[in-house]
Every structure is written in C-alpha cells, then in structure tokens.
C-alpha cells in the first residue's frame, strides 16, 4: 500500500567531485526502480551538478535543511525555493540540527510550512535521547515533537509529508533499535498522533521511516515489518555498495 522510501543523508560529506563519483556508481547499480523510491540528500554545493547527472535516473534529490523564511536578507541561508529548484524533499528536525544548532519544535514548524509552500516534501525527523527512553519517556517526547512541528500544518495528501523515527542514541552509534519495538512504536505512538492531527486515513497512508545505524546487514529485519516504510540512512549512504545493499533489501 505504501511505497518504501530509502533516503540517504550525506550530512557534511563529499565535495562535488566526490559526489559525482558516488552517484555514478549508484546509477550503475540501480537498474530499474519499480518498487522502491530512492532519494539522496547531498550538501547544497553538489545539487546543481547532481541534478544534471540524475536527469534520466529514478534517484531523486533532497536537501538537508532550509531557511524558515521564504526569501530576503538572511545571510548564509538557503531558501525553500532555491532548494526546490533541484530537490523534491527536505530533511527537517534532524537530531544534529536540534543538538548543534538549537533548532526548536517551533522553528521546525516554521520550516515545515515554508517547505510546503515551495512544494518540497518535508522528511520530519523525531527521536528520543537514551535517558528519555530509559525513563520510559519516549512516547511523550515523540508526541511533543510531532505535535510541535506539525501544529497548524495542513495535509490533505499523505504523500506531502514523511516522518522519520530516529532514536538519537541509534544515530551513527552502530546500535540500531530493535525492529519489532520500532514497528510497535510507529503503530502505537506515531500513527495515532498523525491520526489525531489529520484523521485515520492519512495516518494509515503516510510513510514512516526508521533511521539509526541502518546497514545492509540489519536493513532486512526492519523492512519485514509492515509499519516501517523504509529508512533514513546516514553513514551507510556514503558507500555505493552499502546504500545499494539497503535498497536491495527494501525491494
Ligand atoms: C541519520 O543521520 O539520519 C542517520 C540515521 O545516521 P546513521 O545511519 O549513520 O545512524
């Protein structure tokens, strides 16, 4: 019912030359994509060249961040419309932006709204810290993050938003969450919050990804669960073999 999405978050890695080389390998490895949607989110500096390379490829481009303003005097920022020249998606609320750049739910809420206005589909990241999980607070934290980031956001088409559940302690740590627990959490916490915002039908059709140390070795375990609609992949998206291995597991 929901097409799986495999999204690679390159973070602050790869110069333009390195990006072109990696994407050439991905293009060679991906023969035809019928059952899985594939997205890469490189740094802004490579988007223009990569968009030319990918012109007849099913691999899509996404941004890792955007400004919360439409345009204007915001030195150093990239507007949603600038990103939308090359990208169909934008990652918002990533835990690294929350932790290192102080992004609040209110800021992520503004970015979600400007992204929608520019026809960019937000991939909204939510996730609990290890101590929050250990104190049994994961559901409360994720509910607060979702309601804060999505307050006043209109959604009539479930393909207009993707949610990525990324426990913070699992990101880049080599420790992934258990696939079964993740599926239960998505079905028991995340979809009910979405249902409260936009109704049951949207909550069943919206895609919810898992992110946190996904690798070709553990990916298959996540994708056997109906509740998990793909993955947001960090480290393993920097190697063509690993990323292609994950895509293969999803198809
Ligand atoms: C991420 O940064 O969103 C992520 C999931 O990273 P990694 O796969 O490296 O844990």
Q: What would the pLDDT profile of 26-82 be if each residue is shown by its tens digit?
A: 999 987 667 899 999 999 999 999 999 999 999 999 999 999 999 999 999 999 999
Number of structural domains the chain divides into? 1
pLDDT tens per residue across span 166-207? 999 999 898 888 999 999 999 999 999 999 999 999 999 999
Q: Which domain holds residue 82?
A: 5-250
Above 70 in pLDDT, residue 165?
Answer: yes
The answer to whether the CB of 132 is under 6 A from ligand 1 is no
Task: Choose the residue to mutate in 5, 6, 8, 9 for probing ligand 1, maximizing ligand atoms within 8 Å of C-beta.
Answer: 9
Per the annotation, the verdict on 69 as an active-site residue is no
The answer to whether the CB of 7 is under 6 A from ligand 1 is no
pLDDT tens per residue across span 77-120? 999 999 999 999 999 999 999 999 999 999 999 999 999 999 99
The answer to whether the CB of 120 is under 6 A from ligand 1 is no
Long-range contacts of residues 133-138, Cβ cutoff 8 Å, at least 24 apart: 133/167, 133/169, 138/167, 138/185, 138/189
Task: Choose the residue to mutate in 100, 213, 230 for probing ligand 1, maximizing ligand atoms within 8 Å of C-beta.
Answer: 213
Atom of ligand 1 nearest to the CA of 173: 10
Residue 54: give its domain's CATH number: 3.20.20.70
Q: Do residues 188 and 142 make contact, with C-beta atoms less than 8 angstroms apart?
A: no
Token pair listed for 11:
């973070």
pTM of the model: 0.96
């Amino acid at each position: 019912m929901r097409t799986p999405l495999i999204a690679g978050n390159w973070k602050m890695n790869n110069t333009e030359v390195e990006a072109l080389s990696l994407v050439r390998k991905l293009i060679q490895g991906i023969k035809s994509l019928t059952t899985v949607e594939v997205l890469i989110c490189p740094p802004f500096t490579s988007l223009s060249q990569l968009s030319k390379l990918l012109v007849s490829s099913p691999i899509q481009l996404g941004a890792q961040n955007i400004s919360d303003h439409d345009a204007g005097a915001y030195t150093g920022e990239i507007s949603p419309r600038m990103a939308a020249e090359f990208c169909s998606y934008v990652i918002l609320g990533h835990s690294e932006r929350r932790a290192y750049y102080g992004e609040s739910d209110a800021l992520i809420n503004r970015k979600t709204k400007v992204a929608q206005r520019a026809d960019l589909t937000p991939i909204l990241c939510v996730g609990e810290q290890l101590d929050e999980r250990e104190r049994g607070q994961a559901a409360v934290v994720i509910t607060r993050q979702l309601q804060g980031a999505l307050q006043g956001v209109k959604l009539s088409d479930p393909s207009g938003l993707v949610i990525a559940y990324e426990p913070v302690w699992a990101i880049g740590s080599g420790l992934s969450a258990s696939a079964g627990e993740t599926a239960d959490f998505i079905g028991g916490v995340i979809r009910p919050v979405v249902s409260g915002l936009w109704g049951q039908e949207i909550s069943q059709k919206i895609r919810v990804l898992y992110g946190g140390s996904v690798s070709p070795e553990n990916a298959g375990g996540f994708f056997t669960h109906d509740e998990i609609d793909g993955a947001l992949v960090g480290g393993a998206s920097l190697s063509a073999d690993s990323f292609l291995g994950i895509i293969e597991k999803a198809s």
